[in-house]
Structure formats: structure tokens, C-alpha cells
């Protein structure tokens, strides 16, 4: 048994939306191979999605406000990090990597992290490419006390 008191973990989640086009294509594959790997998502010309990005924060409560972070401040940080650069754009022009949901989750995680106060961490970032295709990136676990 640990003598360290267990502190409740408190989380806060914000969800934003944007619309963007993309095309899944690996520069290491030819067109036929890309179509085999990515299916319709590799078709020339690209296609669009109504993306949703959900960010869950974890951190210490501000004893004065009883909040992790102000709602407006949090929303604006996520919009600045993700919506501003991506909305009504072709994601293949915005990021230099293949625009899979996996990569977008990882990239958006880094972009949002840069906009947050340093004492807060992202526990999870979800990218909803469609209601059924959901991708997640996770932050590292906080250090544990023996
Ligand atoms: Zn797609």
C-alpha cells in the first residue's frame, strides 16, 4: 500500500469541427498500389470530410476558478491550432505527411500542445474522420510516485 494520497484525475474535453479535402497517397507506392492500400481514398482529385477533433485535457484544478482551463481559452487554443490551418483547405497542402487519420491525430496533438499552458497536458486527442472512423493519440502517463 502506498502512503501517497490518491488525487482524483480531472479532465476537460472540447470538440471542434472543420471541413477539409484530402487524398491518401503514399509517395512510396504507384497509383495502382495506392488504390489497393487506400481504396477510394486514393482516387485522384481527392475527397472531403467533415472532421471533428476532440481534445481531452488533464491537469491540476485552479483553486480560484474550480476549472482546469477557461472554456473560451481552451476552445480558442484548439481552433487556433487545428481549425485555423485546416478549415476549407486540402490537408495534403497543410501537412507534409500522408493525411491518414493516424497521422492527423499525432500532428494535431503536437499543434494543440503548443497552444496550451505548460502545466496542462493532453490526455487524448481524437480525430473523427467520419462518425465511424475515429483515430486517437495519447499523451504520456504522468510520473508515478512509489
Ligand atoms: Zn478520406
CA of 70 from ligand 1 middle (Å) equals 33
pLDDT value of position 3: 59
CA of 51 from ligand 1 middle (Å) equals 10
The yes/no answer on whether domain 11-138 falls in CATH 3.30.479.10 is yes
CA of 130 from ligand 1 middle (Å) equals 9
Catalogue the E-assigned strands of the chain: 11-22, 47-58, 89-90, 121-128, 134-138
Q: What is the pLDDT of residues 50-86, one digit of tens each?
A: 999 999 999 888 888 889 999 999 999 999 999 999 9
Residues with CB under 5 A from ligand 1 (ion): 41
pLDDT value of position 66: 87
Do 68 and 120 meet the contact criterion of CB atoms below 8 Å apart? Answer: yes
Q: Cell numbers at residue 1, please?
A: 500500500
- The Cα–Cα gap between 55 and 74 comes to 9
- Predicted structure pTM score: 0.89
Amino acid at each position: 500500500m502506498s502512503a501517497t494520497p490518491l488525487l482524483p484525475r480531472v479532465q476537460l474535453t472540447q470538440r471542434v469541427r472543420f471541413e477539409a479535402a484530402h487524398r491518401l497517397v503514399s509517395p512510396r507506392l504507384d497509383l495502382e498500389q495506392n488504390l489497393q492500400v487506400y481504396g477510394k481514398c486514393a482516387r485522384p482529385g481527392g475527397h472531403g470530410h467533415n472532421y471533428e477533433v476532440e481534445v481531452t485535457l488533464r491537469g491540476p484544478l485552479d483553486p480560484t476558478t474550480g476549472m482546469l482551463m477557461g472554456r473560451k481559452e481552451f476552445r480558442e487554443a484548439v481552433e487556433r491550432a487545428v481549425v485555423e490551418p485546416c478549415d476549407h483547405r486540402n490537408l495534403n497542402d497543410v501537412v507534409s505527411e500522408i493525411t491518414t487519420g493516424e497521422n492527423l491525430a499525432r500532428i494535431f496533438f503536437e499543434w494543440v500542445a503548443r497552444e496550451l499552458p505548460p502545466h496542462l497536458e493532453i490526455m487524448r486527442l481524437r480525430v473523427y474522420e467520419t462518425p465511424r472512423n475515429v483515430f486517437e493519440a495519447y499523451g504520456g502517463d504522468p510520473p508515478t510516485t512509489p
